[in-house]
Chain A
Amino acid sequence: MIEITCNDRLGKKVRVKCNPEDTIGDLKKLIAAQTGTKWEKIILKKWYTIFKDHIRLGDYEIHDGMNIELYYQ
């Protein structure tokens, strides 16, 4: 289990527990459950790389305690 913090810099900051085997899409769903925004509207970014839904967190080398930028579309 890893815990990731997602922060849009507009006031939402969420810590999400998830498995490294989860995909980004799963993570988005979890975030959506916590924040109340639709998961399709969420964009996760690290610097300029937009994470794609079908790829796993482990493959993106997202580890415990990492910060991910949260954007909306």
Chain B
Amino acid sequence: MGSSKHKKKDKKKRHHSSDSSDGDLSSKHRKKRHPSSDLSDVDVSNKHKKHKKHHKKKEKPKDKHSKYHSSDDDVIFVPPPPKISRNEVRTPPPPSLTPPPPPSISSAADSLSIDETNKIRAKLGLKPLQMENKETTKSRDDGLEVIAGDEGEFVHKPALSLTEKNKSDKIKARIAEKKEKRMIENKILNVKKLADSDSEEDAVSWVKKTKTIQDEMEKAKKRAQELEEMDNVFGVGDLIEESTKSEMKNFYSSKHLKGLEVQHSMDEFIEGKDVILTLQDKDVLAEDADVLVNVNMVDNESYKQNIDRRKQRLNYSGYDELEDMDIDSPNVVLGKYDEEIEGLKKKSFKLGVDEYKIKRDTIKEKLKKKLNQETLNTTQLKLASDYYNDTEMSVKFKKVKKKKLRVNPLKADKLERSLRLANNNAKENDDLDDIDDILNDKPMDIYNMKMENEDDDDMGLQLALKKARKLKQLEKIERKPDLADTLIKTEYNDNALGAIVLNSTAEFCRTLGDIPTYGKAGNREEEEDESLMDYDKNNLKQEHAVDSDESNDGWREVEMEKKLIDLKTIDSKPILEPEPDLGKGVAGALRLAMSKGYIEKEENARPSASRFAHLQAKNYSIEDKTFLAEDDKLSRRDRYSGPTVEFREKDSYKPNIKLDYIDDDGHLLCEKEAFRYLSHKFHGKGPGKNKIEKRIKKAEQEALMKQMSSTDTPLGTLNMLQSKQKETQSPYIVLSGTKSTHQNHGGSISKTKIG
């Protein structure tokens, strides 16, 4: 909107107002009446606007009418009241003379004029409204705009915007930071580094510096000496010394603290760390000694104690016993209750008293006592060598002690002989060389005997002994070169010392031996043995000795016999059986196969353990296993371990399997029926009544069908026909009705049931 228009409007308005001041008043009046005056005004104006176009022509008279109306208000005319109201509604705005701009009065209600708004804006601190080309803005030195409007120049100072302020603050802060950084960097750059050579300080300057320092030091020394001298002259030095000494004496030192008790354990004080101790609180009247305490430590202790209680310490720990070994504390019974009974024992020590030293001393004493009893030195360790050293090698084997004979001399000659025997024996056992000597000299070699029974001086025995001796000597001569044999012999001799014992039981045995026996029982065996013995000369001589008894009705030792038998059994069988001859035919081949294990004997065809592995206990103890192992060994010994024939599938084996299901009645069932039967059995529920009947019927029919002949009809017509043909002896038969049968009786068949 142009300002010029406004001016016009304003003028009109003024004009209007001047013309009808009464009307203005009336309008004001109206406003007072209606609190929502604006609303009504707006409405009115709108209506007016709407009506504008329609009632353009009517406007003038209406204006006039309004004027009249205003005069009406002044009570000049008195028109009828309803008309007035109607007029009021219809009345167009007063500045209706110029239609294009909106009526000023009504518009003033809803939109202020520019001046008014500018005024308001000035009050609010806003710029005046910008009018196009009308206002010139100049920027002043202080950055504020000078606006030259209609109402003179004025300066607008914009309000502070917080956002801009914040921004600027931030930037300022950043700049400040940067500045500081730069400053610090500069400082750092200025600092001399270690590697930088200080160019200012060359050798000469350094020397000068040191010199000056030295000079100063000397000067200071001199001055001090001078001062001292002065002091000595006036006797001040002694005074000072005395005073310091007295001060030192008065000074509260560790001496004064000696004997004070500190109620903490020594361990809690760490070396090199100061701990402030205070006197513990106590009753004023109590006469206990002062106790030093650190508050923090007391707190710690209580805290620790609480934790211990919460932990519920163990009643017993194996370490206690070990601890008791070190320090001889009296063994306490149920030590855990000590605290509750006697109250907490607090560890404490006294200042200036070296408790550790005391403790150490006690321990030392104890150790000394112990040292007297036992040494800690053990045998020195040596390097183990793989070979025997000399001392070890020199150890000799123990000689087996021989039983000494106790010969009871009966007669002079016996005694003499026995002595000689003993000598011989000793000689023989001394060395191998001796044996050779004996062999060469053919000495008397006899079994040592122990004569218990004095009365037993049997000449037979003597004879037998003599004979045996002779035999042996002969053998020895024969097998002279065989040194090993001789050795064996000697050994045997050693073993056989006292082997033959002549006592009452032996006598008894001898008498038993006299009993004649038949068959292969008893002493007959010996003869066989003898033959065997002769056959196998490598056997020991002992048997020969026994042989010698033969003449003397053969009493013999039981042990001997046993040995003989054993020997026989061992020797008689060769270790390997003779291989059966393959050339003898099938039997020989079979036997060979059997022996080699190609074919199994039926005895051996026992069920193997592996076949019944599934029956074995799955869980067995180790003991069981050991037993099993033994069993296995035994069974393995029984079993062969030779090569076996490879297992082959039987190609020709094609089993013919046929499953037949049979009814309760004995009928064969087909597959379907069998299934039905089984399912009935399985479910325990038979078929229904109808079904059973049906099946029975079917079965009956089947039976009938089976009975029925296949060659004839059930009525036997064919049979009849044939018989008829035989009768008539004609190859035909005449089939006719009842009439014809009467006529031709011979060749007709009457239908009658045969049966």
Contact = CB atoms under 8 A, between A and B. Distances in A.
B42 A13 contact: yes
A17 B129 contact: yes
Contact of B131 (A1, A11, A22, A54): A1
A33 B123 CA distance: 10
B719 interface: no
Interface string A8-52: 000111111111011000100110011100000000000000000
A12 B111 contact: no
Contacts of A54: 163
Contacts of A19: 126-127, 129-130
Given A12-B38, A12-B39, A30-B117, A1 B111 contact: no
Given A26-B126, A29-B124, A17 B110 contact: no
A61 to B, nearest CB: 18
Contacts of B594: none
B111 A17 contact: yes
A69 interface: no
Contacts of B488: none
A18 B38 contact: no
B112 interface: yes
Interface class of chain B by DSSP: helix
Contact of B38 (A3, A33, A35): A35
Interface string B536-568: 000000000000000000000000000000000
Interface residues of B, number: 23
Residue among B1, B121, B127 having the largest count of chain A Cβ atoms under 10 Å: B121
A17 B112 contact: yes
Interface string B123-146: 110110111100000000000000
A73 B620 CA distance: 93
Given A12-B39, A13-B42, A17-B111, A30 B129 contact: no
Contact of B114 (A13, A14, A17, A26): A17
B120 interface: yes
B495 interface: no
Contacts of A26: 124, 126
Given A12-B38, A33-B120, A35-B38, A22 B126 contact: yes
A22 to B, nearest CB: 7
Q: On chain A, which size bracket covers the interface?
A: 20 to 34
A71 to B, nearest CB: 16
A35 B42 CA distance: 12
B161 to A, nearest CB: 8
A30 B121 contact: yes
B100 to A, nearest CB: 16
A21 B126 CA distance: 10
B36 interface: yes
Contacts of A17: 111-112, 114, 117, 129
A3 B111 contact: yes
Given A21-B127, A29-B124, A11 B39 contact: yes
Contacts of A3: 1, 111
Given A30-B117, A35-B38, A14 B111 contact: yes
A13 B129 contact: no
A37 to B, nearest CB: 11
A56 B132 CA distance: 19
Contact of A33 (B36, B110, B124): B124
Nearest to A54: B163
B38 to A, nearest CB: 6
B110 A14 contact: yes
B124 A13 contact: no
A11 B129 contact: no
Given A12-B38, A17-B117, A29-B124, A34 B131 contact: no
29 contacts: A1-B131, A1-B132, A3-B1, A11-B36, A12-B38, A12-B42, A14-B38, A14-B110, A14-B111, A15-B110, A15-B111, A16-B117, A17-B111, A17-B112, A17-B114, A17-B117, A18-B117, A19-B127, A19-B129, A19-B130, A21-B130, A22-B127, A30-B117, A30-B124, A33-B120, A33-B124, A34-B110, A34-B111, A35-B38
Which 6 A-B residue pairings sit nearest by Cβ, starting from the closest?
Answer: A15-B111, A11-B39, A1-B129, A33-B120, A17-B117, A29-B124
Interface of B: 1, 36, 38-39, 42-43, 107, 110-112, 114, 117, 120-121, 123-124, 126-127, 129-132, 163
